[in-house]
């Protein structure tokens, strides 16, 4: 389903509205305030709700590149928007994909609890990215993932995961800097039924890295080592998430030879800036 509104990212809209304010003769001392106001107004007027972002819903088509919507506070997606997304998943038998970073840090634990409770109430199954790799229609579900290296914060959400019987996917970057304690905590999470997957060595933007050093270098130095280090620890790794969701079709094809599922992100502002191909 296509978004029903014509939207632009906050920054682009702010610049346009800011230009109009300048043209109308506003004092030059006020442009910063004007831009902030314009940005806030534009975001409120333009942002698509989760149910309008077709790319974050999986319908069993066996796609290589998946897209998730950001639950972090900074992303500004409201509980009402997320609830509409959960409704759509239940009504259409799709899997909604959501992600965040650090429970209790970038995203309140209460928001995680709301999403897990909302999924349970609507009869959504908890799906990991390995389940996508298995192929086939998965029925109505929630694929929730957490990115980067905030293992101690992930642990704070463990009681919630246990309460709702939730299985989630942790896309781990910078595994080489994790302490022994953090690695033990990851083992505990995996033992609970959660999945660990790759998210690169240094958390850099893939297209930029490829431009500078080449595709083969990106695959060999950034992507694959983040998968192999987990496999060496005994984890079954079947997916990889792009830092910042930043990707190209060329990189997708190269990584698709190593894992069957890649995860990018979808912005609530559709258009050419969104890295989601779906
Ligand atoms: Zn990341």
**For 255-274, how does the pLDDT look when each residue is reduced to its tens digit (9 = 90+)?**
999 999 999 999 998 667 78
Q: Is 150 contained in some domain?
A: yes
Distance from the CA of 89 to the center of ligand 1, in angstroms? 25
Distance from the CA of 230 to the center of ligand 1, in angstroms? 16
Per the structure, the complete domain to which residue 88 belongs is given by 50-265
pLDDT of residue 147: 98
Gyration radius (Cα) of the chain, Å: 19
Distance from the CA of 150 to the center of ligand 1, in angstroms? 10
Position with higher pLDDT, 99 vs 13: 99
Lowest mean pLDDT across 30-44, 89-103, 111-125, 162-176: 30-44
Same domain for 59 and 194, yes or no, is: yes
CA distance 202 to 185: 21
Average pLDDT over residues 155-184: 98
Distance from the CA of 49 to the center of ligand 1, in angstroms? 23
Backbone CA torsion sign across 117, 82, 197, 259:
positive
Q: pLDDT digit string (tens) for 178-187?
A: 999 999 999 9
Same domain for 197 and 154, yes or no, is: yes
Same domain for 136 and 178, yes or no, is: yes
Q: Is 271 contained in some domain?
A: no
* SS3 of residue 168 by DSSP: coil
């Amino acid at each position: 389903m296509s978004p029903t509104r014509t939207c632009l990212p906050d920054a682009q809209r702010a610049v346009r509205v800011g230009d109009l304010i300048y043209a109308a003769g506003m004092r030059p001392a006020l442009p910063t305030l004007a831009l902030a106001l314009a940005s806030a107004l534009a975001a409120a007027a333009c942002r698509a709700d989760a149910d309008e972002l077709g790319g974050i819903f999986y319908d069993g088509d066996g796609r290589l590149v998946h897209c998730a919507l950001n639950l972090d506070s900074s992303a500004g997606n409201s509980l009402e928007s997320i609830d509409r997304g959960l409704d759509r998943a239940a009504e259409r038998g799709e899997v909604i994909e959501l992600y965040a970073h650090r429970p209790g840090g970038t995203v309140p634990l209460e928001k995680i609890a709301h999403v897990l409770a909302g999924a349970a109430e609507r009869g959504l199954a908890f799906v990991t990215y390995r389940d996508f790799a298995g192929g086939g229609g998965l029925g109505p579900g929630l694929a929730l993932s957490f990115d980067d290296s905030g293992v101690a914060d992930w642990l704070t959400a463990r009681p919630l995961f246990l309460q709702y019987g939730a299985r989630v996917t942790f896309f781990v970057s910078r595994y080489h800097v994790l302490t022994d304690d953090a690695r033990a905590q990851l083992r505990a999470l995996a033992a609970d039924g959660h999945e660990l997957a790759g998210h690169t060595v240094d958390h850099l933007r893939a297209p930029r890295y490829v431009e500078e050093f080449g595709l083969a270098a990106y695959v060999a130095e950034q992507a694959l080592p983040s998968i192999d280090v987990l496999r060496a620890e005994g984890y079954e790794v079947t997916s990889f998430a792009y830092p910042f969701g930043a990707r190209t079709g060329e990189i997708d094809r190269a990584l698709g030879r190593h894992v069957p599922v890649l995860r990018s992100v979808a912005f609530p502002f559709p258009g050419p800036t969104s890295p989601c191909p779906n």
